[in-house]
Structure 1
Amino acid sequence: MPEPDAVKAPLEDIMVAMDVVDTLRHQASVASRELDTEGRRERLLNRLRDMYGAQGIEVPDHVLLEGIDALEQQRFSYKPPPAGFATSMARLWVSRSRWGKPVLFLTSLALIFWAIYFYLEVLPEQRLRAELPGQLRGSMALINDLAQEDSARQQAQAQLQLGLNAVKEGQFEAAQSALQSLQTLRSNLQQSYVIRVVSRPDQASGVWRIPDANPNGRNYYLVVEAVDSANRVVAREVVSEETNKAKTVRAWGLRVDEATFQKIAADKQDDGIIQANEVGRKRPGFLLPDYTIATSGGAITQW
């Protein structure tokens, strides 16, 4: 094991050599001039002796020479690390106290907005994408069981395909509209009612119109309503031939020929009661009622 003095001496020499280098750096113009000419080391050595001597510090020549060598070799000097990814990341980390809080705030804000977007937009969309195809096919299966005519199945199949294509393309409003159409179609197929001419003292049982296209002609309509097996009036969606718009009504005008219109009028005028007031019947499994009178099926919803 080396003696304590042997360890202490080199350490002191190193410290003094570092001081020499520091002194030379502060005297940069002198060092540069002396080190660039012949005999520079000797002249610089003499200057260093004078500097330290003036301060009352005795420094051995070998230590002064060690300091001069260190200056020439750029020892004891700081060299910045080369530019690169690691250096950039290190500098970024060191400066985190300056940018950390703003970045954390913005990140938190972004996460909050993303969470809101996820729960209000993404999650419902994922649920619709997963559930709508099954709901569409389920409604189609019920319609197939109920339908007694091909036209009902064909309408349902068209809506099913429309809905499935809409789900595939992410058009969920269109898919839900197709599902609603299937549900309405199913409800219609389930319905059963009779169609009767309205025969109440305070309501008209028939009306006539003068068409715009034929001022000399008349269109005749019986005012009818749908009544279920419990004798309740059933609201129906009816498309007016005058406006071509659908409207849900409890009574509508059913277009008939003049002979049928006059026959019903005579029946009511006889005693105020229409004896043969049933003019059609809607059976389960069918979309449209079967009529027992001559009619084009045209309708109006207001008069």
Structure 2
Amino acid sequence: MALIDEMRFSQAELQKQLDLPKHRLRVAEQIREFYRAKGIEVEDALVEEGVRNFFANRLTYQAPATFGSMTRLLARVYITRGRWLLPTVGVLGVGLWVLLVAPSVSEFSAQASLSAAQGRVDEARALVASHAGQREQLEKRVSTLKADGLVANLPAARQVFEQTGPVLETARAAERITLPVHVTEQSYKEDSKLAASAVKSLKKDSADMKALATQLDTLSAQTDTIRPWLTKLQDAQEQVRKMGLSNADAGQFQPLFAKVDQAVKVMDATAAEQGLKEVEQLRAIAATPLTLEVVSRTGEKSMVERNFDPTGGKSWYLLAEALDASGNVVPLPITSVETGERRYASIFGVRVNQATYQAAKNDKQADGLVDDRLMGKKAANSLSFTFVKGPVKTKPDYILEW
């Protein structure tokens, strides 16, 4: 509806302009009304002249008056505003930011840097304190372990202790750094660098001390495991000492004691246990009275003859076994003169002179058994036999194979 009304209004206006006679009468009436309102009576001739002048200039273009320089400049500025307005606003905005905001931002940035530096210094100071506590605990622990007789003699412990010196000295040096309590605007950059360097050094030292503490934990655990075996070794040594053995007999225990001691030093509990079993086995033999007799059983050898070389050199051995008071065979530690092998043997060959060998041989040939079997005796708390049959020498040779 609004569109139709607008079209009707436009058409009515167009018709008024196209109906020239009516339009001239309206213009004439408007001129008269204008002067009449001012109380002036106008002649028709003058009114007609005004109508002609109106219609004479109605469709004539009249150029506007010439613009001045400022007007033209303003017009050009307005026309080109799309090119310069946005950059100009940007430049002005930046300028205002620099004048109004930048000082505040700069002050905030400086304050933030100062706070950050203070935080690093505080962190470094706290690390120095905790670092010192960690070092003191480690020093006490090392001192305690060094005072432990068992630990002090362990090769593994000595290796760890060699590392503690440099680590603890480096830690003490790192703690000597001087850090300010409060950071200032003048010093915060240098203080920040100093704190950062200190934190890096302290953290590294702390990690090294932690690793060393872990090694000490392992060492302590291993020591606790091996300590009972050291106690047992000491007990065994004391038991052997109380037996009053001869130097020669006591000397047979020394390799076994050394074996256990070495196992303890390398913290090998299994080897220590096995070594102590061997010590106890030998101690039990030493404590028990034994007789040494020629083997005399049907189907078993009782003697062995050895030929040295084609020239006819010979040696003679009686095969013997050790028996306790109940007649039980007791294996003895024997070292073969031929191979150097040492092991516990229930039967072994004892070198004798030819006469003793021949007498035993004749005895067995008579009825298949050796009747005169006794070769020697060993008293309690001894490892040495007293022979009643003729060994070639006081400490006879033995063999383990025949």
Query: Quick one: distance in 2 between partners of 1:243 and 1:151?
Result: 22
Question: Which digits, 9 at most, give the CA deviation of each residue in 1:96-144, with x for residues without a partner?
Answer: xxxxxxxxxxxxxxxxxx7xx968x75243231x333432221122112
Match of 2:101 in 1: 71
Q: 1:28 to 1:262 in 2, by over 3 A?
A: farther
- Paired residue for 2:302, among 205, 209, 216? 205
Match of 2:322 in 1: 226
> Offset at 1:211?
2.2
* 1:239 paired to 2:269: no
Query: Identity of paired residues, percent?
Result: 22
Q: 1:231 to 1:157 in 2, by over 3 A?
A: closer
- Paired residue for 1:217, among 313, 327, 331? 313
Match of 2:398 in 1: 299
One-letter code of the match for 2:326? A
One-letter code of the match for 1:209? R
Q: How many residues are matched?
A: 219
Query: Quick one: distance in 2 between partners of 1:183 and 1:28?
Result: 100
Q: 1:186 to 1:84 in 2, by over 3 A?
A: farther
- More helix as a share of residues: 2
> Offset at 1:153?
3.8
Query: Quick one: distance in 2 between partners of 1:161 and 1:275?
Result: 43
Q: 1:229 to 1:28 in 2, by over 3 A?
A: farther
Q: 1:196 to 1:72 in 2, by over 3 A?
A: closer
Larger radius of gyration between Structure 1 and Structure 2: 2
* 1:277 paired to 2:356: no
* 1:81 paired to 2:113: yes
Q: 1:259 to 1:132 in 2, by over 3 A?
A: same
148-157 or 266-275: which moved more?
Answer: 148-157
One-letter code of the match for 2:356? T
> Offset at 1:87?
5.7
Query: Quick one: distance in 2 between partners of 1:154 and 1:243?
Result: 21
TM alignment of 1:187-198, pairs within 5 A: 187-198=284-295
> Offset at 1:75?
5.0
Query: Quick one: distance in 2 between partners of 1:205 and 1:165?
Result: 41
One-letter code of the match for 2:374? E
Match of 2:78 in 1: none
> Offset at 1:161?
7.1
Q: 1:287 to 1:165 in 2, by over 3 A?
A: same
Q: 1:165 to 1:244 in 2, by over 3 A?
A: closer
Q: 1:192 to 1:84 in 2, by over 3 A?
A: farther
Match of 2:345 in 1: 249
* 1:131 paired to 2:235: no
- Normalised by the length of structure 1, the TM-score is 0.59
Contact 1:147–1:189 (CA under 8 A) maintained in structure 2: no
> Offset at 1:180?
4.7
Contact 2:229–2:272 (CA under 8 A) maintained in structure 1: yes
Aligned to 1:81, what secondary structure does the other structure show?
A: helix
Contact 1:146–1:284 (CA under 8 A) maintained in structure 2: no
Contact 1:254–1:298 (CA under 8 A) maintained in structure 2: yes
Question: Which digits, 9 at most, give the CA deviation of each residue in 1:228-268, with x for residues without a partner?
Answer: 11111112222111111012222111111111110111111
Contact 2:285–2:332 (CA under 8 A) maintained in structure 1: no
RMSD: 4.0
* Structure 1 unmatched ranges of 5 or more: 1-26, 35-43, 45-66, 91-113
One-letter code of the match for 1:288? S
> Offset at 1:76?
9.3
Match of 1:259 in 2: 355
Aligned to 2:375, what secondary structure does the other structure show?
A: strand
Query: Quick one: distance in 1 between partners of 2:333 and 2:253?
Result: 18
Match of 2:247 in 1: 150
Match of 1:172 in 2: 267
Contact 2:290–2:323 (CA under 8 A) maintained in structure 1: yes
- Normalised by the length of structure 2, the TM-score is 0.46
Query: Quick one: distance in 1 between partners of 2:398 and 2:339?
Result: 10
Contact 2:334–2:345 (CA under 8 A) maintained in structure 1: yes
Q: 1:262 to 1:247 in 2, by over 3 A?
A: same
- More strand as a share of residues: 1
* Structure 2 unmatched ranges of 5 or more: 1-88, 124-213
Query: Quick one: distance in 2 between partners of 1:298 and 1:206?
Result: 14
Contact 1:149–1:285 (CA under 8 A) maintained in structure 2: no
Aligned to 1:260, what secondary structure does the other structure show?
A: helix
Contact 1:140–1:157 (CA under 8 A) maintained in structure 2: no
Q: 1:162 to 1:270 in 2, by over 3 A?
A: closer
Aligned to 2:320, what secondary structure does the other structure show?
A: strand
Aligned to 1:219, what secondary structure does the other structure show?
A: strand
Query: Quick one: distance in 2 between partners of 1:275 and 1:207?
Result: 17
Query: Quick one: distance in 1 between partners of 2:90 and 2:388?
Result: 120
Question: Which digits, 9 at most, give the CA deviation of each residue in 1:198-252, with x for residues without a partner?
Answer: 111201111111225x652112111111111111111222211111101222211
Q: 1:159 to 1:254 in 2, by over 3 A?
A: closer
